[in-house]
Chain A
Amino acid sequence: MKRIGIDVGGTNTDAVLIDGARVHHAVKTTTTEDVLGGIRTALRLLLDGAGDAADGVDAIVIGTTHFTNAVVERRALQRVGALRIGLPASASLPPFVDWPDDLAALVRGVVRMVRGGHEYDGRPIVALDHAAIRDAARGMADAGITAVGVTSVFSPLTAECEQEAARILREEIPGVDVTLSSELGRIGLLERENVTLLNACLQELARTTTDAFTEALRQSGIDAPLYLTQNDGTIMRAELARRFPVYCFASGPTNSMRGAAFLSRLEDGVVVDVGGTTTDVGYLKAGFPREANAAVEIGGVRTLFRMPDLLSIGLGGGTEIALDGSRIGPASVGFRLLQKGLAFGGDTLTATDIAVAAGRLDLGDRARVAHLSPAFVGATLRRMGDMIAEAVDRMKVDAGDVALLAVGGGSFLIPDRVEGCSEVIRVTHHAVANAVGAAISQASGEVDQIFSGLSREAALAQAHAEAERRAVAAGARRESLKLVELEDIPLSYLPGDARRVRVRMGGDIG
């Protein structure tokens, strides 16, 4: 496996060349306004540095916060048409009902609700109102709408109504971009619709951005397929990302954790990422981060996405420490460490200064912290170690000892022995863990569906087959597919042994 991973963040664009199990070369550059420039520079630096080693790259994988930032910053968003199928149900809560006003004002074009949709067991609620859909489509065409989000009640169960609506929309609005909620999965009408509408409003940006990525690759002379990373730590072909930009929303923390796993060659363990201000603790299982449970908001919009379950505590390299030892953080000097820290001639005692005084770190001028008593330095280091150990313990699921993967610029604060951990592994190249995580991603497919009138075995088998089909469509090799996640919840108050099954399959690309 030879791959290039690129992380396009808000501040930095990092690129790495991975050859087999090792990081061959890594570079860090500044992200540019047009995205293209930063990637072009990063790729040029990487190829210059790597020389012949970059020949025969199998794939290029980009992780980006570009689409999330567009929503959060309210820029480059299109006005969209929203078509909801399900009347007479759900009439009082129309599309955009729980969006922040400013975002809704930008994105809400034409909103229509029509009769149709399904019950949990696949029966129609009422007959689909074809005439109303055609009328809605004409209304949207007249308003100049070019992107539409279609959501039908219980469409994860059967997508018939949405597909019929897409057909009519394409007849009435030539060239329209249609996003169907059934392609984005998950039960929960309002949240699924929100994601569908977010996806619709990003269509133009997704096109220009993926085109820019492709162009940057072409200019660099690399001939390899392009993939983008998704929220769950897996990737999809650029052509798919172009249609479903929402899948790229939360890939950052996921890539960082998966990068750490790869760099340490461990699939299970606790990842402790110590930055300048905070320490993020996450849990890896089978190479994937454990997901948080709560509904995730993007730019104030409630979605169905799951983010990695992270516990953040106020401890980092820049954390301020009271001179009498009474207090550690949570305040931090942040990126001003090199001006404010004692070891750098500043006036603030920080966690970094303590590590320098203890000889754990060779940075700045040790003479400037020589006045700190060894007892005070030792006690403070121990207390910081205890804070980390406690956070790790809170994230652990099993009583047994687990490996601790130490990453981030402040990882010198992590002691060599941590209670409840079998070992502390210091990961090299941790500064580019994001790009590494992107480079090594697998492809996956997910199903979240209600089954009724089927045995448990039959339901699981159907869900597996569909998840496999989706994983292969996303670029996975069939023979490499593995089960990543399985959730099987029997449902209350429903007849016919109804159950909700969520299956995620992942596999290698290529």
Chain B
Amino acid sequence: MARTIERDELEPLATGAWILGTGGGGSPYLSYLNMRQAYADGTRVTLMDPASLDDDDLVAVVSNMGAPLVGQERLSDPDFATKPVRMMEDYLGRRFRAVMSVEIGGGNAFQPLLVAARTGLPVVDADAMGRAFPEAQMTSFAIAELPMFPLTLADIRDNEVIVARAASWKWMERISRKACTEVGSIAATCKAPRTGAEVKRHGILYTTSQAIALGREVRRARRMHEDPVAATIAAASGKLLFRGKIVDVRRRTTEGFLRGDATLEGLDDDRGARFEVAFQNEFSIGRRDGGVVVTTPDLICLLDSVSGEAIGTESLRYGQRASIIALPAPPILRTEKGLENVGPRAFGHDVDYVSVFGEMAA
């Protein structure tokens, strides 16, 4: 089963993916512009139901890796996105059946579309995070302990890197991050290829459709002058945690990551309360009046209270009026093994996972 992604779904995908980025992942705007260009030139991209993959089909898992700020100067480009996919095919001596994103949150939601625009491959309606995370071992494929190699990485110049083997997911992250930094802190990658069976079993399914539906609903609410924050919550089965304004932002970088926290003071029903949200590229933990009320992998999103537009951790500013909402994490991330990779301790917080969505069967 497959269908064409329509032109009027591109903008909703950008809006939805930016919300699912939970403060990180980089803005999808420039990648969206690329797709708008491609569609204006007559290109169309096919969205494929993961259920229709054959078990031994080979799927390319792509991402744009690097510093979001560099991406604002060295802009995303379909040819560049496609390069590592071709490298991987040459290396393996096999052709891909389809392409998928490693993370639906942020700009990488569009990476497989950019590749599809050049190659004609269908985009699998799935990813490996269901949101955005800062590191390669924070994927459903890593949680399932699938092999993490080989990996191909391409630069805009004639530099191509193949990581043939790595001892662990963390090693793969360290080695590829080093190569990425060397070529200007931005690189297109094709991660370890997955079989159709692996995608169906360990991928996080239907997230492209989910992002489009979410974005469509938010945009509809905005157009109708309804509350876009409420619309987001309704469309993604989320919960409102706090409404307030940002009164303090503290940032620091350690080991290449943007870490910090923001404090909000309550408005409306939350008047008199304070909420503190910590981040490492993405929002990872939320405290209300000092007590932990939500942690990763629950999706913690900060939305502009008026427009419903997601606010990235790099653009938090004093005085912004923001709503903090939580969206449920994919079940695989909430398993014991999942929490080892993406729970609060994986981000250096010495607390247990706290969800606003209650207990669930693992």
Contact = CB atoms under 8 A, between A and B. Distances in A.
Contacts of A110: none
A493 B309 contact: no
Interface stretch (A14-22, A91-99, A166-174, A366-374): A91-99
Interface string A307-341: 00100000000000000000000000000000000
Nearest to A397: B319
Contacts of A92: 34, 37, 75-79
A492 B78 contact: no
Given A394-B267, A489-B314, A91 B185 contact: no
A93 B70 contact: no
A409 B103 CA distance: 53
Interface stretch (A183-191, A207-215, A230-238): A183-191
A190 B68 contact: no
A89 B258 contact: no
B33 A93 contact: yes
A131 interface: no
Nearest to B317: A293
A388 to B, nearest CB: 16
B256 A290 contact: no
Interface in B308-357: 309, 311, 314-315, 317-321
Given A92-B75, A153-B73, A119 B252 contact: no
B260 to A, nearest CB: 8
Interface residues of A, number: 44
Contact of A190 (B30, B185, B247, B258): B30
B168 interface: no
Contacts of B234: none
B73 A189 contact: yes
Contact of B309 (A93, A125, A294, A397): A294
Nearest to A155: B73
Nearest to B182: A495
Contacts of A500: 69
Nearest to A394: B321
Interface in A417-452: 450
B265 interface: yes
Contacts of B78: 92
Interface in B178-213: 180-181, 184-185
Contacts of B30: 93, 190
A88 to B, nearest CB: 5
Interface string A276-305: 000000010000001001100000000000
Nearest to A489: B251
Contacts of A492: 67-69, 134, 253, 256-258, 281, 314
A501 to B, nearest CB: 12
25 contacts: A88-B156, A90-B74, A91-B79, A92-B76, A92-B79, A93-B30, A93-B33, A97-B37, A98-B33, A120-B67, A120-B73, A125-B74, A125-B184, A188-B72, A290-B318, A450-B69, A489-B258, A491-B67, A492-B67, A492-B258, A493-B181, A494-B67, A494-B185, A494-B253, A498-B253
Interface of B: 30, 33-34, 37, 66-70, 72-79, 134, 156-157, 177, 180-181, 184-185, 245, 247, 251-253, 256-258, 265, 267, 281, 304, 307, 309, 311, 314-315, 317-321
Given A119-B185, A490-B253, A493-B177, 8 more contacts: A92-B75, A92-B77, A97-B37, A126-B157, A189-B75, A293-B317, A492-B68, A492-B281
